[in-house]
Structure 1
Amino acid sequence: MSSPKLHHYVPRFYLRRFADAEGRLWVWDRVVDRVYATSPSTIAAETKFYFHDEFAEQGHDPLTMEAQFASLEGAVSGLTGAWLDWIRAHEPGDALDISTDDRDRVGLFVALQFLRSADTRETIARFASRDSAPEPTVEEARKLHLHALWDEDLVASIASRLIDCTWVFAKNGSSTPLAASDNPVAFRTDDNRMWLKGAILSEGTYLVYPLAPDVIMYGYPTDGRYGTASVARFNNQISAVELTDGMVRSENTAQVFMASRHVVSVRPDFAWAKDFARTIGTDSYALPHS
């Protein structure tokens, strides 16, 4: 059997949740400003993205990382799929039964989803070229990224923060579907006014992660504005607040901000995404303060 060559940095099981009834994933390519329908297997992937040639040189399997991701994805796909079924069938205030092991798996998965993306690879390369250092080649950037993914302390620091968060799941009761992207794990400041690509371990910064067009997951840290007992008591619960159209549009701006290239949706309408994209880097758009 030949080794897989196209490696997804956003799992196909996740992207399939944002496909329409015919299995089509609607995509806005923000680089070339093109909207099209495709299969979830064709985006958020690159050839040999996790191929570790240093392992091959040492006589080990160069696809060890890809195999480990596949194993974790298999477990989390079934787990979060069951969560979605449960959340859709239950009421606000009901608490999902999440074991310690399941929380650890999902926390690790979300941390790795943030770290494994093409956007993170680009960020690492930019840091490597600061202070007038030459910009890394594509191959050098790939190796820097792989070394970061093998950094147990880095992965553990992000995973532990997410695992310790208060997890709240909100239903989307509006006519506007939640969107995703090729970099779907977003972080927001605790005043709700800024999305962040860096500083994700900063005090108060919380997780915003769409699980499907109709359900979103929040992770509120133990510090900052949300690090209180009054917030912690909602751990694992379905939020009492259903998302409105305006709230969904606000959360969807995260996917435009975070995306390397592709924003995805169950629908082909991306006018909202284009409108927000034009404001990135300006002060003409402010997220609502609450």
Structure 2
Amino acid sequence: MNRPRRHHFVPRFYLEGFCADDARALAVYDRVRNAYRAQRPTEVAHRRDYYAYEDEHGNPVFTIEEGLGEVEGEASAVIQRVDNDALLSDDDRLTLATYAAFQFTRTPAYAAWVAAFRQEFARNARQEQVDALPEAPDLAADRGAALGAMLRHAPKLAHVFMHFNWTIWRRESDRQSFVTTDSPVCILQSERPEPNIYAGAGMLMPVVITVLPLSQASVLAMSGIGNRMDNRTLTRDWVRRVNLAVVSQAQHFIFGRDLALVQSLVRAAGIDRRQWRVPLQVN
């Protein structure tokens, strides 16, 4: 059966949540080309056969893409409920935790982290540590390794997210808007609100907030071990702070409701003047 050859590493339905209310176009900043443009969600954040692999006969297999599509379909309905101020059930939380985990692990930015980790480990580990690994470190850390890491890590990460306290951050009015990127799950340190930092702490540390913009109207914020579910309306200033932090950790693309907003955030965060680097530091 013929299948689409372009696979989106940021789901189309997700990007549509950041379109202008009266249009189906995104304001996009391309960090690699240092260029701004307006594009439809179907036209951005895709790579050829990114989630496909070959069977023993050399035929393309699309089961990973199909599984991600199921996760995205369920998450789309939950995000709509979030934006409509509905209470989330335990099943909704599991759906959103699973979606957030894949949003973190499915991106080229996460693949770059896998490669950096493997290379650093191979350089610094003692031989007995290398021998104790289930698989020897692969310096190439190719796309197959990245897909394997996604499939192994996402379920474990979803379990971690389920045991965090959650807060839904909402904009104060329709005149404000959250943005997102091709690396949408980012890590903030609550004690260091500067927007241009790369967090050097892990998700489980008490000063860390893990955030995922859900749409232009809402953001999922997770921090601390617990099962609280709260809501918080952010002022205009705090919406901008969140946007700056999200923009600062973008690898390639930034997506927003309008070009003026995206341009303002790019200039303020200064990412047009520095190259992207792996936000999760390898120590």
TM-score range, shorter chain: 0.7 to 0.9
Query: SS of the counterpart of 1:41?
Result: helix
Q: What amino acid is the match of 2:184? A: P
Matches of 2:190 and 2:229, distance apart in 1: 19
Would the aligned equivalents of 2:10 and 2:107 in 1 still touch at CA under 8 Å?
Answer: yes
Cα deviations by residue, 1:208-263 (Å, 9 ceiling, x for unpaired):
121221222211221xxxx6xxxx6xx33322xx2222211110122222211111
Paired residues in the alignment total 254
Would the aligned equivalents of 2:266 and 2:272 in 1 still touch at CA under 8 Å?
Answer: no
Offset at 1:118? 1.1
Q: Where does residue 110 of structure 1 map in the other structure?
A: 100
Q: Where does residue 269 of structure 2 map in the other structure?
A: 276
Offset at 1:112? 1.0
Matches of 1:201 and 1:185, distance apart in 2: 11
What is the RMSD computed on CA atoms of the aligned residues? 2.7
Q: Where does residue 238 of structure 1 map in the other structure?
A: 231
Q: What amino acid is the match of 1:67? A: E
Matches of 1:198 and 1:144, distance apart in 2: 24
Matches of 2:60 and 2:44, distance apart in 1: 25
Q: Where does residue 9 of structure 1 map in the other structure?
A: 9
Query: SS of the counterpart of 2:213?
Result: strand
Q: Where does residue 281 of structure 2 map in the other structure?
A: none
Query: SS of the counterpart of 2:168?
Result: strand
Matches of 1:198 and 1:117, distance apart in 2: 20
Matches of 1:147 and 1:198, distance apart in 2: 25
Q: Where does residue 82 of structure 1 map in the other structure?
A: 81
Q: Where does residue 113 of structure 2 map in the other structure?
A: 123
Q: What amino acid is the match of 2:95? A: R
Matches of 2:182 and 2:204, distance apart in 1: 23
Offset at 1:178? 0.9
Offset at 1:7? 0.9
Would the aligned equivalents of 2:189 and 2:199 in 1 still touch at CA under 8 Å?
Answer: no
Offset at 1:196? 4.9
Q: Where does residue 184 of structure 1 map in the other structure?
A: 184
Give the structure-2-normalised TM-score: 0.80
Q: Where does residue 254 of structure 2 map in the other structure?
A: 263
Would the aligned equivalents of 2:31 and 2:271 in 1 still touch at CA under 8 Å?
Answer: no
Would the aligned equivalents of 2:12 and 2:42 in 1 still touch at CA under 8 Å?
Answer: yes
Q: What amino acid is the match of 1:247? A: W
Query: Structure 2 residue aligned with 1:214, among 210, 213, 217?
Result: 217
Cα deviations by residue, 1:155-196 (Å, 9 ceiling, x for unpaired):
333212211112111221154321111111111124244765
Structure 1 gaps of 5+ residues are: 88-95, 282-290
Offset at 1:121? 1.1
Would the aligned equivalents of 1:110 and 1:159 in 2 still touch at CA under 8 Å?
Answer: yes
Matches of 1:15 and 1:113, distance apart in 2: 12
Corresponding position: 1:64 with 2:63: yes
Q: Where does residue 167 of structure 1 map in the other structure?
A: 166
Offset at 1:277? 2.6
- % identical aligned pairs: 24
Would the aligned equivalents of 1:207 and 1:218 in 2 still touch at CA under 8 Å?
Answer: yes
Structure 2 gaps of 5+ residues are: 125-136, 275-283
Give the structure-1-normalised TM-score: 0.78
- Closer/same/farther in 2, CA of residues 134 and 162 from structure 1, 3 Å limit: closer
- Closer/same/farther in 2, CA of residues 190 and 75 from structure 1, 3 Å limit: same
Matches of 1:70 and 1:198, distance apart in 2: 32
- Closer/same/farther in 2, CA of residues 217 and 150 from structure 1, 3 Å limit: closer
Offset at 1:198? 6.8
Would the aligned equivalents of 1:97 and 1:236 in 2 still touch at CA under 8 Å?
Answer: no
